Amino acid sequence: MTSTIVPGTVIPGVAAARLDEWIKDNGIVLHPRLHIGASDLGGIGLVFDNADGEVNAEDDFEVLRIPAKMGLDYMSLLEVMDAMKLRDGDVEAEIVESQLVVEVLKLMSPKTETEIIMAYIVAFEILRQVNVNSDYWRDSPLRKFDVYLDVLTHTATPSYPQIKSSPDPFINKLIASANAVKLEYDSFIGELAQEYKSLQVDKLMPFAKYYQIYQSIKSRSLEIPHASIDTDFSKLSLDSDSSKPNESDDTDFYINVTLVPILDFANHRHNNNAYFDVDLETSDVVLKLKNDATIDPAKFEVTISYSPHESVQHFIQTYGFIPQSTDFQLFELKLPPMDQVVKDGTLKSKWMRILPQIQIVGRKDEVYLNFFDNNLPLLFIDDFNYNPNWSDDAISDFRKYNDFADDDELDEVEILNVLKHQEECYDVINGIGPSGITFKGEKVDHLQSVIRAVAQDDSGYSFDDLIQRTITFIRDHAKTQLAAPPLVDDDDNNDNDGFTQLVSQYQTYQKRLLQRLVDYAGSIDDLILPEELAHPDWETNFRSLPRELVLGDD
């Protein structure tokens, strides 16, 4: 039987022959012409030999099938757990596997599907180093995961940041996220050590490995659709680009975050030539080539789309890389405090709920600024001013905004303190209307009504002028960013530090995009993203949310 691995391919963490044997033993079926090999996109990928032109079929072409039992989601892992408990009923061992898994789940307290998978994988990785060479260990149902654990713990991912902070807000966000994982690890490993004093758990699961698993699961997991019990299977179909059921189908389904071995070797490309699907009879996950894909070479890489929208920051945060693309890519540019160009600009933006940021849309040599659902130009209207005396009427405005009657009892001091705290510490003010701004010297009760009035042709306000002032401000900031020093020193950017490499790649991409914006010599109006190119998800779903105080009934 031929190997599924391209000869000479080095797969980090596992020998090619061992992976090949594991694939066959677990019923994973690759098309005879599909192989695992080095990818031009980086790392490992799936390569198809199309020497005889077999792909040019009338229907989409199945090239990979992964049995349902091999997918790891919270439901299948629960079944593994049940099998472990059944096996451990009468066992005598120093470390009982099912008990340790339960303890890890309890201590890690996962709240999302991804976190549940993380907790199980951490427990499995600890357990495969305990009771080694005992019959109990060899007969464990966990042995079938060993090879895949080798893949997960050696996947190329950004390493834990060695830098403490960065002048770039996005990089600071990545550092803060990594530090949060470190705090969770320290708490978890300390408590587990107390429960299992005979084990050196910090040696069995050092932080570097824990962080590696965290990054691998985040980058390799897929959203796999499942039909519910009451679904009419004959009506269920999947969208070939998103691999999710069509919304127009009259069916019930649910999505599980899932690790799917071997399928997760498929790399991302915006113009993907393949997609994953679910066999409705067997629940197997299958990879299919599109019959209409443009495929020229005799050998090509099989790619899927991780997301139809290539937001650079989203890809870095989720998958750990910047996608190679010739299509539109989104980049969120954080702007400096608006006080630098507008009097009281920071306070005005908070009360008007305007974030000082802009989404840049780039493709090849094109560059646009996305002003859809972005009210940034309103800050350049001189008739909008900050109201320093907003607290005088804050309680009555609060009552009106929240429909409280005049005789309703309120803790007025607490309300005023909360509003002032938001003004000092958050990006937007919640729980009250735009009391902190005036328009032409008058209080503003409803911002939208003023915006509609300003937008009228006879209002006397020039939209073109506001846009020009805004774009000039953005381009001036871009020039400042281009002159900024490197985010990481060259001395720090070594082969073993994936995080600093990623930061360096991020800044290179950013500067290339900003240079295009600064060098643009055409009409400023042509920098505005045209409506026919805009996508409704871009500005609303792929930008940072404000830091805000969530006010609830409690």
- Cβ contacts of 192 within 8 Å, gap of 6 or more: 103, 104, 107, 201
What sign has the CA pseudo-torsion 294, 298, 301, 303? positive
Rg (the chain; Cα; Å): 28
Question: pLDDT tens across 17-42, in order?
Answer: 999 999 999 999 999 999 999 999 88
Mean pLDDT for the stretch of residues 445-449 = 88
The 310-311 sheet, strands edge to edge: 310-311, 329-334, 357-363, 366-370
| pLDDT score, position 135 | 87
Report the pLDDT value the prediction gives residue 55, as an integer from 0 to 100: 61
Question: Would the pLDDT of 495 be above 80?
Answer: no
506: exposed, middle or buried (Cβ count in 10 Å: 0-12, 13-18, 19+): buried
* Cα–Cα distance, 345 to 286 (Å, whole number): 53
Question: Which residues, at least 6 apart from 301, have a Cβ–Cβ distance to it below 8 Å?
Answer: 39, 40, 41, 45, 46, 47, 48, 267, 269
Angle at 495 between CA 489 and CA 497, to 5 degrees: 65
Residue 293: name the closest of 268, 272, 310, 307 by CA: 272
Query: How many Å apart are CA 539 and CA 375, to the nearest integer?
Result: 11
Strand-strand pairing, 267-268 and 299-304: parallel
pLDDT at 251 over 70: no
Count of C-beta atoms within a 10 Å radius of residue 84: 21
Residue 160 contacts residue 209 (beta carbons within 8 Å): no
pLDDT given for residue 78 in this prediction: 95
Q: What is the DSSP letter of 164?
A: S
CA distance 95 to 505: 45
> What is the pLDDT at residue 240?
40
Residue environment code for 325-335, b if the CB has 16+ CB neighbours within 10 A, otherwise e: beebbbbbbeb
pLDDT at 57: 59
pLDDT of residue 349 exceeding 90, the answer is yes
Contacts of 62 (CB under 8 A, 6+ apart): 31, 286, 287, 288
Is residue 419 within 8 A of residue 399, CB to CB? The reply is no
Tell me the C-alpha distance between 127 and 300, whole Å: 39
Query: Please, are residues 111 and 150 in contact by the beta-carbon 8 Å criterion?
Result: no
Q: 180 CB contacts (<8 Å, ≥6 apart)?
A: none
357: helix, coil or strand? Answer: strand
Question: What's the confidence (pLDDT) of residue 197?
Answer: 92
CA–CA separation, 481 and 334 (whole Å):
11
From 25-29, 49-53, 395-399, the region with the lowest mean pLDDT: 49-53
Q: Which of 114-123, 124-133, 267-276, 478-487 has the lowest mean pLDDT?
A: 124-133
Q: How confident is the model at residue 296 (pLDDT cuts 50, 70, 90)?
A: low
Do 263 and 222 touch, CB atoms closer than 8 A? yes
pLDDT value of residue 93: 78
Q: How many CB atoms are closer than 10 A to CB 465?
A: 12
Three-state secondary structure call for residue 253? strand
Multiple choice CATH, 16-70+260-306, 1.10.10, 2.30.30, 2.170.270, 2.60.40: 2.170.270
Of residues 206 and 51, the one with the higher pLDDT is 206
DSSP assignment of 256-301: EEEB-TTGGGPEE-TT-SEEEEE-TTT--EEEEE-TT----SSEEE
- Kind of pairing between the strands at 274-278 and 29-30: unpaired
Compute the half-sphere exposure of residue 434: CA atoms within 13 Å on the CB side of its CA.
24
How many helices (H) does the chain have, and how many strands (E)? Answer: 17, 17
- In 3D space, the residue among 111, 303, 247, 411 whose CA is nearest the CA of residue 119 turns out to be 111
Q: Point out which residues pair with 278 in neighbouring strands.
A: 285
Q: What pLDDT score was predicted for residue 452?
A: 85
Q: Is the pLDDT of residue 436 over 90?
A: yes
CATH 2.170.270-classified regions of the chain = 16-70+260-306
CA distance 511 to 330: 14
Report the alpha-carbon angle 534-536-540, nearest 5.
115
Q: What are phi and psi of 53, to 5 degrees?
A: 70, 25
pLDDT at 104 over 70: yes
- The pLDDT, as a whole number, for residue 236 is 38
Name the nearest CA neighbour of 121 among 16, 230, 45, 211. Answer: 211
Give, in degrees to the nearest 5, the angle at Cα 280 between 279 and 284.
Answer: 35
Q: Which of 201, 315, 232, 229 is nearest to 268 (CA)?
A: 315
pTM reported for the whole predicted model = 0.89
What single-letter DSSP state applies at residue 495?
Answer: T
- How sure is the predictor about 134, in pLDDT bands with cuts at 50, 70 and 90? confident
